[in-house]
Structure 1
Amino acid sequence: MFDPTIYENLKVVFEGAVYDLDLDGQIVVIHRSDCIDLAAMSRSYAVRYRMKDGRCSAEIRLSAGLVDLAGEKLEWRNALPGCKLEILFSLMLHNPVTACKNIQDILEQIWDPNAAIVQTLSYRFGDDGSRCSNEIGVHFDRKIGEGQVDDIPDLLEHTVRTLRQLEPYNLEE
């Protein structure tokens, strides 16, 4: 019988939990990606969503590489297999100098103090920079495994709460 990997089990739980929120009408799934990179022997899953009437988006990215798969399947003695988890938020801003400081404060209140929060701003060449795209990454300093499955509903609740808090900063199109 086929024994699913940590990655596959976590992907199924994330996917089910996100689509449950979509079915409940709390969010709208707007993109999904499920990739296997045969050159690097890695796998990645991403699902992007927004609030029903929102413009900001959140994306959960789950990935595992060859070392994680080999360590798990071959039962290497010192292996610590698991998955990398990243959460990204995207929005458009006016006045990024003020907005980014406020956004940083909001995210630091919502997310674990051990999570690294990185805001990356971009705008078109020739624009004055007063209107820009902000991609906010919430990065964790460790891999996750099946022992964190019970944390997934709380993690999704944090993403929904973050989207609600970010929405007033999003620029009207």
Structure 2
Amino acid sequence: MFDPTIFDNIKVVLEGIVYDLDLEEIIQITDRKDLVDLASMSRTYSIQFSKKQNNKISAQCILSTSVEDLSMEILEHDMQQPGCKLEVNFVIDFVGQSIDEVSNQAQIIEKTLQKIWENRPHITQKFSFESNQEVTEVLIQNEIRLDFKRKINENQLSDLEVLIDQVILSLNTLKDKVNYPT
């Protein structure tokens, strides 16, 4: 037998919280990945979801750990505190709007998220677009990344439910703040 790692313990709790919300039909899970990178010996778990009534905005929680953190934990080195990185991403799909219209909303989005998250995470927004040949309208995606710039461990397990509540609040608030063409 082996003891589960910090990564495994956090992943199980995070996954359980999100799947419970899916079962309660508050959200719908749209993607899930559990990856081991053999080149860097790192692990990444991601789970993506959206509100049932709005699939133009989705959220993704990404949990990752490095070989350094895994080895510190397994070998019980006390040099640094091992842990995992947790990142929250949002993707907003805009169809039929110009890049100027979408980029004008970037400040509204950032201010909205800073208020919800109390200025804690570092927020970046990246816009991308491609022409959709079938619809003949341009799809512009805004990928919003919330980086907390710190590691978490089992001491923060009780904070995960609050974090997911904040993610859902962000989805609801962004739905109300973002302008979609009618």
> Shift in Å at residue 76 of structure 1?
1.0
Of the structure 1 ranges 19-28 and 160-169, higher mean CA displacement relative to structure 2 is found in 160-169
Of the structure 1 ranges 161-170 and 61-70, higher mean CA displacement relative to structure 2 is found in 161-170
Of the structure 1 ranges 148-157 and 90-99, higher mean CA displacement relative to structure 2 is found in 90-99
Report the Cα distance in structure 1 between the residues aligned to 2:12 and 2:179, rounded to whole angstroms.
31
Which residue in 1 is equivalent to 2:19? Answer: 19
Which residue identity does 2:175 align to in structure 1? E
Report the Cα distance in structure 2 between the residues aligned to 1:7 and 1:35, rounded to whole angstroms.
12
- Gaps in structure 1 of 5+ consecutive residues: none
Provide Cα deviations, 1:53-109, integer angstroms capped at 9, x if missing partner: 112100000000100000001111212210011110001233123211111110001
Matches within 5 A, 1:8-157: 8-55=8-55, 56-93=57-94, 94=97, 95-124=101-130, 132-157=140-165
Which residue identity does 1:59 align to in structure 2? Q
Report the Cα distance in structure 2 between the residues aligned to 1:114 and 1:103, rounded to whole angstroms.
15
Report the Cα distance in structure 2 between the residues aligned to 1:43 and 1:166, rounded to whole angstroms.
30
Aligned-partner SS, 2:72: helix
Structure 2 length normalisation: TM-score?
A: 0.87
> Shift in Å at residue 170 of structure 1?
6.2
Q: How many residues align?
A: 169
CA contact (8 A) 2:114 2:120 kept: no
Structure 1 length normalisation: TM-score?
A: 0.92
CA distance 1:172–1:63, shift in 2 (3 Å): farther
Which residue identity does 1:70 align to in structure 2? S
Sequence identity of aligned pairs in percent?
39
- Gaps in structure 2 of 5+ consecutive residues: 132-137
Report the Cα distance in structure 2 between the residues aligned to 1:97 and 1:42, rounded to whole angstroms.
35
CA RMSD of aligned residues (A): 1.8
Report the Cα distance in structure 1 between the residues aligned to 2:153 and 2:129, rounded to whole angstroms.
37
Report the Cα distance in structure 1 between the residues aligned to 2:156 and 2:107, rounded to whole angstroms.
31
